[in-house]
Amino acid sequence: MTARLSPGAQPPPATLPAGGDGLRSSLHDRGQRLTPQRQRVLALFERIGEGSHLGAEEVHQRLLRSEERVSLATVYRTLRLLSSMGLLQELELPEGGRRFELASDAHRDHHHLVCVRCGRTEEFENSAVLQAGERAAGGYGFRLLECVLNVRALCPSCAAAE
């Protein structure tokens, strides 16, 4: 029922290759270390692309399949770490456990229009939304990382079927 279709077009990452030094220095800034496990987890998310999300168990399984064993406990620890570093982000859709995806570029705002009946999803952008997010964050003294607008709606054919 997860209707986030990412048709073939996978936008080029355009960001730093994570297995590399971006991760290393981000970690070092926090007094933490670059380990193969952390690289593997992040690299996996980069491999699957920006639109797709994985849960802890899936990350563990997929790494096993590619001969890059990382214990499940470490997967959990790493997901939380990368997430708190802003490299991954946790999803809003609670289908089972928590799920994560590669964090999009800083401050980018991408929004979803989703039909609650059939799951059809359209993406759109709107700078007014980002502004609203910035205003809200500013008002509470928060530092904005990202804002996502979810519009729940009925698509034309589902609306007709009602």
Partner DNA sequence: ATTCATGCAAATTTTTTGCATGTTC
Partner DNA sequence: GAACATGCAAAAAATTTGCATGAAT
Q: Which is nearer to a copy of itself, 43 or 114 (CB)?
A: 114
CB under 5 to 8 A by kind: which of a copy of itself, DNA, none does 62 bind? none
- Does residue 35 bind a copy of itself (CB under 8 A)? no
Rounded Cα–Cα distance for residues 92 and 113 (Å):
14
Distance separating alpha carbons of residues 104 and 88, to the nearest angstrom: 8
**Residue 105 binds to a copy of itself (criterion: CB under 8 A):** no
CB of 122 within 8 A of CB of 139? no
Rounded to whole angstroms, how far apart are CA atoms 87 and 68? 20
> CA-CA-CA-CA torsion for 109, 115, 121, 127, nearest 10 degrees?
-20
* Two tokens, residue 76: 């959990």
User: Which residues contact DNA (rule: CB under 7 A)?
Assistant: 2, 4, 24, 27-28, 31-38, 55-57, 69-74, 76-78, 80, 95-98
User: Which residues contact a copy of itself (rule: CB under 8 A)?
Assistant: 1-2, 4, 6, 9-12, 83-84, 86, 89-96, 98, 111, 113, 115-118, 122, 124, 126, 128-129, 131-133, 135-137, 139-156, 159, 162
